[in-house]
Amino acid sequence: MDGAPRGTSEYTSIVQQKGSGIRGTLRAVEEIHGERTVAAIMARLPPEARRSLQPMILASAWYPIESIAAVHVGIRDVVGKGSWSAAHDLAMTAARHDFTGIHAAFMRALTLDAVWSRIADAWGHYHTQGRVHLADRAPTSARVIIDQVEGFNEGLWNAVAGRSQVLLELVGARGAIAEAHRPSPTSAQIDMEWLS
């Protein structure tokens, strides 16, 4: 676990994620759908997940992946009306908020090549487990494989794709699209395309 602190949850999660991602996602839910929708999502969480995320989610704290996955189940059921795709758009909104001010200026200074060279380190900054591999790179596309994780669901993978799409936009990739394919609890493939 790379020395990451354990949360106070009853979960015995191997994978933990920094709170900044899910905090941003719930902020996006509130911005787009309102406080009642956030409350409806939180009400659907199993008691252990709710306890681990309340009274507030701290951006730099570590949370069990089961809790994050449970929030995405709530998003699927409440916002997505049964579809996982809502997680992609919410993650894009969250990423646009996260990468503002000095962060946006820093991101715009990066090149696509720099993104690929730093992608594994970036993953490790926000997750206690997982391997990121650039499987294919062409002038206007890339395929990234993320594996060796546990407990992910399709909502989490769609959120990874949504954030990846915004990252591409910020480094100057026009018309960027990022989609999660072959999602499983332990791995997914993120396919990205953009205009030349």
pLDDT at 8: 39
Asked if residue 11 is part of any domain, the answer here is no
Do 80 and 136 fall within a single domain? Answer: no
Of 97, 117, 152, which residue sits at a domain end?
Answer: 97
pLDDT at 6: 38
Domain count, the chain: 2
Structural domain that includes position 170? 101-193
Residue 189 CA neighbour count, 13 Å, CB half = 7
- By C-alpha distance, which of 195, 187, 166, 143 is closest to 90? 166
Do 175 and 91 fall within a single domain? Answer: no
Q: What is the pLDDT along the chain (196 residues), one digit of tens a residue?
A: 333 443 434 445 579 999 999 999 999 999 999 999 999 999 999 999 999 999 999 999 999 999 999 999 999 999 999 999 999 999 999 999 988 765 666 666 678 888 888 888 889 999 999 999 999 999 999 999 999 999 999 999 999 999 999 999 988 899 999 999 999 999 999 999 999 7
Of 42, 63, 97, which residue sits at a domain end?
Answer: 97
Q: Cis link prior to 55 (omega < 30° from 0)?
A: yes
Do 112 and 155 fall within a single domain? Answer: yes
pLDDT at 102: 58
The answer to whether the Cα torsion of 152, 156, 157, 160 is positive or negative is negative
pLDDT at 3: 39
Alpha carbon distance 55, 151 (integer Å):
23
pLDDT at 139: 94
pLDDT at 103: 63
Asked if residue 57 is part of any domain, the answer here is yes
Asked if residue 123 is part of any domain, the answer here is yes
Of 97, 116, 142, which residue sits at a domain end?
Answer: 97
Q: CA angle 60-71-44, nearest 5°?
A: 135
Alpha carbon distance 144, 175 (integer Å):
18
**Tokens 């997505």 sit on residue:** 80
Do 118 and 91 fall within a single domain? Answer: no
Alpha carbon distance 39, 16 (integer Å):
23
Do 88 and 162 fall within a single domain? Answer: no
pLDDT at 9: 42
Do 117 and 187 fall within a single domain? Answer: yes
